[in-house]
Every structure is written in C-alpha cells, then in structure tokens.
C-alpha cells in the first residue's frame, strides 16, 4: 500500500500555483490529497474537487472555524472522522505562513511536516504587509524548531533561510522541475516578433520596466509587439503606462497553461524582469523561466534573486543588472536581430532544462526524500 501525503495550502489553490499541482500530479509512490481552510472560487483549472480532502466539509467552514483550525489544529468532528478513515502519513505544506497553521495539524495528527518555502521572507514590516504574514515573521522560529524538514526551491532561498535562523541540517535544496514532455515546442510554428511576459502583475515582477524598455525597442523594431499574460493589482497602472508610452502591447489576463505555452511557441523573447523591492521581496526561482526555455524561447531578465540558477547568462539568455533599462533593452534587441545567436540560445535553453529541471526525475527525488523523513520519524 502506498503512503499518503497531505498537501497543505491554506488557500486551495492560488491560480499562479500550477507548480504545486504539477509536482503533486507526478507523484508515483505516494497517494495525495489537498487540504486547507479556504477554497478558491471557482477552483483553478489545475485542481479538481476529487483531489481535495473533505471538500464538502471545507466548503461549510465559517471564518471562526478557520481561525480555530489554524491556531489549535482542532478539526470539526466530521473532518476528524474522515482523517481517521484515511489517515495521512505526512504533511507537505507550501508557503511559510501556511505551514505555520499546518504545524498545529502536525501535532494533532502526530505525523511529520515538510514545508516548501517558495519565496524569500522579508524581515521588514510595512503597512502593506498582511497581518497573517506579520504573525508568521514573528513566529517562524517555531516552524524551524518543530517542523521536520524545510525544502528550499533554490540556493537563493536556502541562503535566506539560513540568514533567518533555520538550522542547515533541516534544509533540503530541491528544484521542483517542469514537465518537459508536455512543455515542448511545435517546430513547424513560425516565430513572430513578440516579446512575452507571463507572471503576476505585482511590483517585484518588473512589468513596468519591460514596458519602458519596449518603448525604446519599438523605435528600432516597430513590428515587435509586447504580450502580457497575467493579472494583479498593478494591471490598471501598467495598462495606462503602456498607453502613455505608445507601446504596442496587449494584456491577455490569466490564461490556462496550454495557452501560455502556445504564446511561448510563437514568441522570440521571454522577459519578466523581476527585481528586489525595498522591502526585500525578490524572485525565488521563477518556474516560468524554465517553461520558456523548455519551449526553446530565450530569456531576458534582471540578475535578481534565484533567476541566475535557472537562466545561464550568455548561453540560454541574458541577465541585465537590476533596474538597468539600457541593458535590458539592448539584450532584447540583440536576440530579436541576431538570428544565429537566437538559434544557439534557443537550442541551449531546452537542452539545459532537460538536463536540470525534468519534473519526473525531480519528483522521484522528492519521494525518496519523503521516505527518509518517514524513516527518521519511525513511521
């Protein structure tokens, strides 16, 4: 009989968190169910009701119920009975703040807790920081102490965890990976003069820098168009910036993965110029960079956070210094105008991703890691 892993995320599941469902879908030796206290309505396209543990009962939870579960780990009787029937062997939580809530559940069920940290934890407070995140920053030492293992999605995140006081022996560095068989280019499709952005429209993703860069690029290459896929609080401001800058740009909003890959197949350059914000927020890794390269699409970005772990500067793309618009623009233009260089980077990109970020290989490593945690816990 396969061991059972409970995938915990407080919100099931953010639209942008396809990397979680991709990893879960590639588990082979572990049965999996998702659990949290809030359901995304409607459910994102990468998650079904059948995958969610106690789906109908989660739907009925009140705000008071959710708070009680998070703080005490005590579950309503109807959910407890389901856990008793299908008891998980371990919990794999995603995101630091969510894992803090899962810590109570771990203690209640007496099973190991593994946490994947997907983004750097800022040590600074701001008026924009959610109360739940402030609570996490004040209490994350409990997670480091009482959690069994912490997975860092990049060397960059590992460094941040060590700086935050997480014991090195508790950290496991693991790249999630992507489905290189599914994310594969159709070579019969002709590339167009398109610069593609895919990501949430938030400050640190740097879409405003890309729009400003495109204003200069379209002076030299007027046929080149910018396509922006994604949504977020900055969308309205970015649309106004594109309009006032006279940039030929189309905002497509949130798109399903297949549509994103189709655009990657059509485009000539992928650019999401993430940078480090004043409060320390930056790109932990950037799964979308791996997806673009799997589609033989060269990348241009800023050298920020964990991006240099997924993009090889001068081989699979270019990484400009943070906030350097001149470098960003010139690198994009170079790939648009130099066919020989583009062809070389394009092939290098897919070869690199196949070698380093194959999700089948990476998930097999994850399952071996699960085994080691269970053995150590005496399960």
pLDDT digits (tens, 9 = 90+) for 126-154: 444 566 677 777 888 999 999 999 999 99
CA-to-CA distance for 103 and 114, rounded, in angstroms?
Answer: 10
284, 302 in Cβ contact below 8 A? Answer: no
| Residue 291 pLDDT greater than 70, yes or no | yes
CA 273-202-131 angle, to 5 degrees, is 135
pLDDT on residue 73: 67
Place of tokens 């970015």: 238
Mind listing the domains of the chain with CATH numbers?
A: 3-177+358-374 (3.40.50.2000), 194-356 (3.40.50.2000)
pLDDT on residue 127: 43
| Residue 124 pLDDT greater than 50, yes or no | no
pLDDT on residue 178: 96
Place of tokens 């233009």: 333
Which tokens go with 297? 């699409």
Q: How confident is the model at residue 325 (pLDDT cuts 50, 70, 90)?
A: very high
CA-to-CA distance for 114 and 369, rounded, in angstroms?
Answer: 10
Place of tokens 């995320």: 9
pLDDT on residue 169: 97
| Residue 248 pLDDT greater than 80, yes or no | yes
Compute the average pLDDT of residues 234-250. 97
Q: How confident is the model at residue 1 (pLDDT cuts 50, 70, 90)?
A: low
pLDDT on residue 52: 85
Which tokens go with 93? 């939580």
pLDDT on residue 132: 66
User: Percentage of residues in the chain with pLDDT exceeding 90?
Assistant: 68
pLDDT digits (tens, 9 = 90+) for 356-371: 999 999 999 999 999 9
Sequence-distant (≥ 6) Cβ neighbours of residue 14 within 8 angstroms: 40, 44
Task: Spell 164-183 as b/e; 16+ CB within 10 A means b.
Answer: bebeeebbbebbbbbbbeeb
pLDDT on residue 200: 94
| Residue 315 pLDDT greater than 70, yes or no | yes
| Residue 350 pLDDT greater than 50, yes or no | yes
CB-side neighbour CA atoms (13 Å) of 336? 26
The count of other CB atoms within 10 Å of the CB of residue 156 is 20
| Residue 238 pLDDT greater than 90, yes or no | yes
Sequence-distant (≥ 6) Cβ neighbours of residue 192 within 8 angstroms: 225, 266, 267, 268
| Residue 340 pLDDT greater than 80, yes or no | yes
**DSSP per-residue letters across 330-344:** HHHHHHHH-HHHHHH
């Amino acid at each position: 009989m396969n061991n059972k892993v409970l995938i915990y995320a407080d919100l099931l599941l953010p639209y942008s968190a396809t990397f979680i469902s991709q990893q879960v879908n590639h588990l082979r030796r572990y049965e999996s169910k998702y659990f949290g206290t809030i359901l995304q309505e409607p459910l994102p396209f990468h998650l079904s009701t059948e995958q969610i543990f106690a789906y109908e009962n989660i739907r009925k939870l009140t705000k008071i119920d959710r708070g009680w579960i998070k703080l005490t780990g005590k579950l309503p009787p109807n959910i407890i009975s389901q856990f008793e029937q299908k008891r998980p062997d371990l919990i794999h939580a995603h995101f630091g703040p969510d894992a803090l809530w899962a810590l109570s559940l771990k203690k209640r069920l007496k099973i190991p807790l593994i946490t994947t940290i997907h983004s750097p934890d800022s040590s600074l407070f701001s008026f924009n920081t959610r109360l739940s995140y402030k609570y996490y920053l004040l209490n994350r030492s409990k997670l480091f102490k009482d959690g069994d293992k912490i997975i860092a999605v990049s060397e960059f995140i590992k460094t941040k965890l060590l700086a935050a006081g997480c014991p090195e022996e508790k950290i496991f560095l693991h790249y999630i990976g992507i489905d290189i068989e599914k994310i594969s280019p159709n070579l019969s499709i002709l590339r167009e003069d398109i610069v593609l952005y895919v990501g949430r429209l938030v400050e640190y993703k740097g879409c405003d820098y890309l729009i400003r860069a495109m204003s200069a690029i379209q002076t030299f290459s007027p046929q080149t168009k910018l396509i922006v896929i994604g949504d977020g609080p900055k969308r309205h401001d970015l649309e106004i910036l594109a309009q006032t800058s006279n940039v030929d740009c189309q905002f497509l909003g949130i798109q399903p993965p297949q549509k994103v890959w189709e655009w990657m197949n059509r485009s000539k350059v992928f650019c999401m110029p993430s940078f480090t914000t004043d409060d320390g927020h930056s790109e932990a890794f950037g799964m979308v960079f791996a997806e673009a390269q799997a589609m033989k699409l060269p990348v241009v970005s800023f050298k920020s956070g964990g991006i240099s772990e997924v993009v090889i500067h001068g081989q699979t793309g270019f990484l400009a210094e943070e906030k350097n618009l001149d470098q960003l623009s010139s690198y994009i233009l170079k790939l648009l105008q130099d066919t020989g260089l583009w062809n070389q980077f394009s092939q290098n990109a897919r070869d690199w991703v196949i070698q380093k970020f194959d999700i089948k290989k990476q998930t097999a490593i994850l399952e071996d890691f699960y085994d080691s945690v269970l053995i150590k816990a005496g399960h």
